[in-house]
């Protein structure tokens, strides 16, 4: 996948954990453009996350309308900042001292924050070797045959059991590219898949190279 997609670049500056948490909550069940616009609207409206503590929930919902599921997402964001602010921990610097298991358990203790959102904080904000699993990563890993799990949460646990050091960012990012552009939910384009020869998906189409070989064998006969 690195040969096909390249090595994904990292942000020059690590995003603050709370910023990434809020951005990832907004990204749930919507596209990147909508979630980004909702996040920017939130930042323009509230220059400091502490302002969200006293902000009316309806006002937050209106501000993030572009991201959809406004009741659910506004509630999760409000709950997060209220609890962090109450303990004077809104900068979330303390999380850097936690190991991966502790950090995941702490973050998922908040309403509306699941394992995918929490693991995104570990990968993108703390630069930990943790591979988040969304629907694209779940689908591709199961089709390839690396795991055989029914849910993204179970795929996450399996894939991160013995993940080689230093590959999480590249693996996660390139699997998403693979899942969005090639290994689509319906009508996957196996003919251009860079790992088709390794894939165990029973319904995969023959690659171009395989078709060429079959044609040559037929002519030779």
CA distance 183 to 190: 7
Task: Calculate the alpha carbon distances from 180 to 3, 171, 173, 221 in Å.
Answer: 18, 14, 11, 40
CA distance 122 to 133: 13
Give percent of the chain with pLDDT exceeding 90.
81
Residue 145 in any domain: the answer is no
Average of pLDDT values for 142-166? 95
Catalytic residue numbers? 116
Q: 206: pLDDT confidence band, cut at 50, 70 and 90? A: low
Q: 88: pLDDT confidence band, cut at 50, 70 and 90? A: confident
Residue 24 in any domain: the answer is yes
Specify the residue for token string 């509230």: 46
Residue 119 in any domain: the answer is yes
Residue 208 in any domain: the answer is no
CATH number of domain containing 58: 1.10.340.30
3-state secondary structure 132-165: CCCHHHHHHHHHHCCCCCCCHHHHHHHHCCCCCC
What is the pLDDT, as a whole number, of residue 182?
95
Residue 63 in any domain: the answer is yes
Range of the domain at 89: 17-125
pLDDT digits (tens, 9 = 90+) for 104-128: 999 999 998 999 999 999 999 999 9
With beta carbons less than 8 A apart as the criterion, state whether 37 and 27 touch. no
| Segment among 20-34, 108-122, 164-178, 199-213 with least mean pLDDT | 199-213
What is the pLDDT, as a whole number, of residue 173?
96
Both structure tokens of 4: 């096909």
The structural domain count of the chain equals 1
Residue 65 in any domain: the answer is yes
Residue 116 in any domain: the answer is yes
pLDDT digits (tens, 9 = 90+) for 19-72: 999 999 999 989 999 999 999 999 999 989 999 999 999 999 999 999 999 999
What is the pLDDT, as a whole number, of residue 219?
36
CA distance 211 to 178: 22
Both structure tokens of 216: 């040559």
CA distance 103 to 68: 28
Residue 135 in any domain: the answer is no
Supply the mean pLDDT for the chain: 90
What is the pLDDT, as a whole number, of residue 104?
97
Phi, psi of 110 (to 5 degrees): -85, 140
């Amino acid at each position: 996948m690195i040969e096909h997609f390249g090595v994904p670049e990292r942000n020059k500056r690590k995003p603050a954990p709370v910023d990434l948490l809020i951005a990832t909550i907004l990204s749930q069940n919507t596209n990147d453009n909508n979630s980004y616009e909702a996040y920017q609207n939130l930042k323009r409206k509230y220059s400091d996350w502490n302002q969200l503590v006293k902000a009316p929930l309806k006002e937050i919902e209106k501000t993030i309308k572009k991201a959809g599921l406004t009741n659910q997402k506004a509630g999760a964001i409000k709950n997060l900042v209220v609890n962090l602010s109450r303990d004077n921990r809104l900068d979330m610097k303390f999380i850097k001292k936690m190991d991966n298991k502790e950090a995941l358990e702490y973050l998922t203790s908040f309403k509306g924050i699941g394992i995918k959102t929490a693991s995104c904080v570990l990968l993108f904000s703390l630069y930990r070797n943790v591979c988040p699993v969304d629907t694209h990563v779940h689908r591709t890993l199961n089709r390839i045959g690396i795991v055989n799990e029914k849910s993204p949460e179970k795929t996450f646990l399996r894939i991160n059991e013995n993940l080689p050091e230093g590959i999480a960012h590249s693996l996660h990012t390139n699997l998403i590219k693979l899942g969005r552009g090639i290994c689509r939910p319906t009508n996957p384009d196996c003919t251009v898949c860079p790992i088709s020869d390794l894939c165990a998906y029973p319904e995969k189409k023959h690659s171009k190279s395989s078709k060429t070989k079959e044609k040559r064998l037929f002519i030779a006969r």
